[in-house]
A and B are shown apart, each in its own frame.
Chain A
Amino acid sequence: MLEIKNIDVCYGDVQVVWDVSFDVKKGEVVALVGANGAGKSTNLKTISGILRPKKGHIVFEGNPIHTVEPFRLNEIGIAHVPEARRLFVEMTVDENLDMGSLKGAAKKEREKSREMVFDLFPRLKERRKQLTGTLSGGEQQMAAVARGLMSKPRLLMFDEPSLGLSPILVREIFNVIKKIRKEGVTVLIVEQNVQQTLSLADRAYVLENGRITLSGTGRELLVNDHVKTAYLGV
């Protein structure tokens, strides 16, 4: 479904991602894990078009997307739940959800999608008229995920969904990701919370200093010696 082929990404003169290649197949949950500064978020931002690769290709369902303007990706079927939520804090939950379904089919099925996300997050339904800036961290993360789902994406990308959340809420968010996948949405997730991410993911890639050093199924990586010592602390 999504193929990343040999991309290099730079911030100005500083190269952050070196010759990275990976792919996501339809219906999978794929994870990119790694330490701070390994280039995980940079990879996601490059897929969403906020950054441009200096070299290499990004192909989504057979079409190259690294030259497409970022605002068109939403229509193509890719949604990005960005790091630190990035909600429109002076708009209500409902308005944020409307912003998630601006174009085409997503707009026509707005009310249906809204029911669907309120099923996933009953808490948001209670707070639909509240400004998102006044929600708690967990509720904001729910709203961000809900906004991403409103565009009826075929590929949903999560950037650090567990950031700043308590362990119970992290589990809740991960449970929702499982439900989303059951609906047939392909998921690409970037996380520092290696243990939980690997047990959720079908396949995972380990990024170190901007290069992919390991890859395999979630289970394989969980018992891998290098992953154990470097990320799981056992």
Chain B
Amino acid sequence: MKKYLPLIILAILSILPLIGLSSYAMHILILVIMWAAIGMAWNLLGGYCGQVSFGHAAYFGVGAYTSGILYYKLGISPWWGMPLSIVVVSLFSLVLGFIVLRLRGPFFALATLAMGEVMRVTTENIGWLTGGTLGILIQKRTWVSKFGYYYIILLVAAGTFFLIKKLIESKLGYYFVAIREDQDAAESLGINTTLYKTIALCLSGALTGIAGAFYTNYMGYIDPHVVFALHDISIVTIMIVMVGGVATYWGPLVGAIIMVFLAELIRTIPGLGAAHQTLFGILLIVIIIFLPNGIVGDFAKIKKIFKQEAPRNELN
């Protein structure tokens, strides 16, 4: 049963749109799946390899702008940005990794955070290529209905899931975990830590970049403040994985479901909507204190709480 769980969930997600959901519900589903894919990509680097990145917006944004610039400067369909972003973002990650992977722990986190911001400011200032703060508008969207977009992002997310699962169960996965647990010890046992950290960074970046390219096609409009946002992309990515469960296969999906629905829910409350970031912060504090391994990671703990409560109810 457990072995087939990914296929069962994939099957359910594939037939879900056929039951006739509203356009709004489809939009929410697309967001959930897109964020799950980004969360999985972050989880590879931050969860398994232990390199906590605060700048995944950089990869997301470069992916998004790869699509955008293809359309804006060359007049090519932005869908070509999805395959092309793999190459562009991998190369970008390689260069970025050369700088940030020399650092460890909090210094790595700060450097990645800075890189995200550097990318935003740079994109704002090279208007001839990126359209600057005006952003890029895709004037004609491919489809009005959301079906096509849904299945494309589902394909991307499923591909990401199976790729990461395969990687983590291979020798590479052991190397990643060893680097997370103790980099010096891993190095002394003969693991080329620089090489494997670079592999993790490039894969994680490229997978995030594909999601970014999808975003351009789906939303039809990007600007530097949206796709390179520290709070709306980088931090939300980390929160999704933290809430769902760091270094678990299903954590990012569970986290994405909770975060997207929560964001939508809070936004509809009058007067509170603007404060959704604050509530995210409070949620994160609660999760760190009570479920430090996230909902999937601490699932046994959650089950225990409910089991303890059951007999008490019978007494009443």
Interface size class of B (residues with CB under 8 A): 10 to 19
- Other-chain contact of B190, A74, A86, A88, A89 (Cβ < 8 Å): A74
Min CB–CB distance B47 → chain A (angstroms): 12
CA A80 – CA B14 in complex, angstroms? 52
- Other-chain contact of A71, B177, B181, B182, B190 (Cβ < 8 Å): B190
Over the window 36-78 of chain A, the binary record of Cβ atoms lying under 8 Å from chain B Cβ atoms (1 yes, 0 no) is 0000000000001110000000000000000001111111000
Min CB–CB distance B177 → chain A (angstroms): 7
Number of A positions contacting B (CB below 8 A): 27
Min CB–CB distance A155 → chain B (angstroms): 13
| A95-B174, A99-B178 given; A151·B190 CB < 8 A | yes
In the complex the two chains form, is B178's CB within 8 Å of A86's CB? no
Interface residue? B188 (CB, 8 A): yes
Interface residue? A194 (CB, 8 A): no
- Main SS at interface, chain A: loop
Chain A neighbourhood of B184, CB < 8 A: 50, 82, 86
CA A50 – CA B187 in complex, angstroms? 9
Interface residue? A34 (CB, 8 A): no
- Other-chain contact of B181, A69, A79, A90, A103 (Cβ < 8 Å): A90
Chain B neighbourhood of A99, CB < 8 A: 174, 178, 186, 189
CA A69 – CA B188 in complex, angstroms? 10
Interface residues of B (CB under 8 A from A): 174, 177-178, 181-182, 184-193
Interface residues of A (CB under 8 A from B): 48-50, 69-75, 79-80, 82, 86-91, 95, 98-100, 102-103, 147, 151
In the assembled complex, 12 residue pairs joining A and B whose CB atoms fall closer than 8 Å, in A order, are A71-B187, A71-B189, A71-B190, A72-B190, A82-B184, A87-B181, A87-B185, A88-B181, A91-B178, A91-B181, A99-B174, A102-B191
